[in-house]
Each structure stands twice: as structure tokens, then as C-alpha cells.
A and B are shown apart, each in its own frame.
Chain A
Amino acid sequence: MTPEKAFDEYHQAVYSFLYRLTRREDIAEDITQECFLALIRAPQRFDQTRGTMKTYLFSIARNLALKHYRDYRQEAPLEGQPKQAADPRGTLELRSAVAEAVAALPQLQQEALILFAYEGVTLEEIAGIVGADVGTVKSRIHRARERLRRTLVPYRKAGIKHATP
């Protein structure tokens, strides 16, 4: 797959992932650009036997985002030391509340949840992207969802209160 084709297919997914991870459009754009430039500079690093182009790009994007956090010394909460979410009873809109609640998750839970819930990446693929085993990824997503269940309760919508699978 050529870099141009990879860009056409995956740039929106990579950008969305980075936007949700950083919550900044300008940073998401910069890192998306860096991500594809890295692919152009060294296309031979993509090993088809180790995963798909999509997971490879997510992996680069994730590493660049972590590097950005380190370089700019932004607080990336460690697992088990979450930041507090904003008061949901305030005037925040629902989408802002969701963004705040996800941002309040520990970094490792956050990235796993975003990849799983928003980008449709499988547990196995996430494990490859973040360099952890599937069980660990599953546990991170479970804990993230548990926390969000409680944090976002004030935003419960009428009509979907009772789950009926």
C-alpha cells in the first residue's frame, strides 16, 4: 500500500484518534502530519506480518502523542491516579462532558477506550498498538467504562435508560 493510499483510507481515523487523545485540533493535525511523514520516510518499517496498516499508523500516532506529552510536560495521569472530571451538573454540554470525562481517565485507559469505542479497533489490535496483552487491554477498557458509567450518570438520556439487548 502506497503512503498516498494509506493517507486516503486512514487519515480521518488517525486524526480523530489524536483529537480525542489531545483534545486539540492543531496538535492532532500536527501529529497526523508527522505520522504520515514517518510512513513516507521509512515505508520499509511497516511489516505486514505484524499487523495492518491501520494498526501501524495508530501505533505511530500513539507514540508521537506520548512524545508530545513528554516534550511539553503535560500531565498524563498514571493509571490509578485519575484527574477529577468537571462537575457534570454545571452548564457543560453533553459532548463537552463526555470529552471531560474521558480526559479524566488515566492515560492508558483513555487510549484503549478511544480506540475501542470510537475507532472500532479490536482488542487484539489495541494490544498490538499499545504493546500490552489482550487481557490487560480488556481490563483497562472495563475500568474506563466503569468509571464513565458513574461519571456520566447525570447525563442519562430519556428513552435509553433501560437496556434491552
Chain B
Amino acid sequence: MRRMNWVLTGCLLLGTAFGAVPASQEAKDPCLAQRASFDKAAAAVTAAGATYRAVADQRRRAYDLWLKADDAAGKRRETWQAASEAAIKMRDAYNACRENPASKGCAAQKKAADEAGLKAAREYRDAVSADLEAFCAQTALDKAEAEARGAGEAHQAALKALRDAQAVLAQCLRPNKK
């Protein structure tokens, strides 16, 4: 009895190995290959949709970062301009003092002018740095937008493939196809 079981199991394994079982399934479902293509296309649509949504999230984050960086750069630029104008006024005051024969000394004005000049230089450096950050954020946003657009297009292409697969499957499923 046990030997008989082994023989049957062996036959089953051999039959499976030589495609006997799929062949019998195909006999039951004549549209098996079309269904498989359809399922594959449907999985691709789901994956492409998920990719698009993930990339769209990244795009929103990149947008928020750019918005913050650009606002910060604008504020820095305003601060620099104000500091620069203040430095010019201080320099003018020092020059006026220096060129006035009646003045007793201009050390205080010189100190104020030098300090204002240094402050303006620092503000300029910070403004350039902020501009650079805004530029980097802008580049990252451009990249994220291009990726999102690409992912959206890939989703559309996957959907078209699904429609094609569906058409093939429907053709197979129609009773009067033969």
C-alpha cells in the first residue's frame, strides 16, 4: 500500500514537472494567459499610482521648503539693503565731520561708520548665503515637480496598458469569439 502511494506521488510530481497540471488548468480556462497579463497590468497600475502619490508628497515637502527658503532670502535681502543704506549715511557723516575745519575730532563718527560698514558686509554675506539656499531649494523643487510629472505620466501609461490588456481579455471572454 505504501509503495503504491509512493508511485502515485512520483507520477504526480513528474506530471507537474512536465506541465500536465497547467495544461489541464488552461483547458478549464481558455483565457488564462490573458488574465495573467491583465493581472500583471493591474498590479503595474497600482504600483504606478502609489509611486505617483509618494512623489507628489515629496513635491509638496519640496515646495514648503522652497517657500520658506525664498521668504528667508527676501527678508535677508531687505536687511542687507537697510544695513547698506545705514552704512552710507554713517560714512557721509564721518566724511562731513572730517572735511569740516571746525570739527574737533571724528573718532566717534569713524567708529560708527566702520561698524556700520562691517555690519553691511556681514548682512550681504548672509543675504548671498540665503539666496544660495533658496536657489538650491528651487532646484530641488524643480526636480521634484519633474519627477511627479514623470510618475503621473507613468501612471497614465500603465493605465493604458491595463486598458489594452482588458481589451485582449474581453475579446477572449466573448462567447462568439470563435
The answer to whether A binds B is no
